């Protein structure tokens, strides 16, 4: 992690290029992905997100994969069966999910969203602004859940 939370946290590939920036907003946490993303990157990032969620609970996640590429479908079993229950237990209630235009990333995302839908409020978008508006307008402020 490149910075102390609540400053934005960046995760990088060994070569130094940033693949994820996690930012704390007043009512949600934002995960903004960029560049080529692998299943290992997804798992690493999900573990970091859980750690940050424990420090500063937020019921909402804006997961923005607009600038991401790559097939990371191999991470979806772990995300569904390991990560999601822990995230829900830690207070996550809703995810606004912004698709990448990259076909491989989009297919990985669609598979994950289908898996998560029965367990959490999740909605997919092609536009970040619409995703943020949905997330903020459809769910109560975090202080209502103990903040």
Question: How many whole angstroms separate alpha carbon 142 and alpha carbon 110?
Answer: 27
Entry pTM: 0.89
**What was the pLDDT predicted at 11?**
97
What fold does the segment set 9-145 form as a domain?
Answer: Transcription Regulator spoIIAA (3.30.750)
Give the model confidence (pLDDT) of 67-116 as tens digits.
Answer: 999 999 999 999 999 999 999 999 999 999 999 999 999 999 999 999 99
pLDDT confidence of residue 4: 62
pLDDT at residue 56 in the model: 85
Instruction: Supply 129's token pair.
Output: 């602004």
């Amino acid at each position: 992690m490149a910075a102390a939370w609540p400053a934005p946290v960046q995760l990088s590939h060994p070569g130094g290029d940033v693949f994820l920036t996690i930012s704390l907003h007043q009512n949600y946490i934002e995960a903004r992905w960029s560049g080529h993303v692998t299943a290992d990157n997804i798992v690493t990032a999900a573990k970091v997100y859980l750690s940050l969620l424990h420090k500063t609970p937020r019921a909402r996640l804006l997961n923005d994969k607009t600038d991401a590429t790559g097939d990371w479908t191999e991470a979806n079993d772990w995300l569904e069966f390991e990560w999601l229950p822990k995230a829900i237990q830690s207070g996550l209630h809703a995810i606004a999910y912004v698709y990448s235009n990259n076909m491989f990333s989009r297919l990985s995302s669609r598979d994950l969203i289908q898996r998560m839908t029965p367990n959490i409020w999740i909605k997919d978008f092609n536009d970040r602004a619409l995703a943020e508006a949905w997330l903020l307008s459809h769910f109560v402020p975090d202080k209502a859940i103990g903040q």
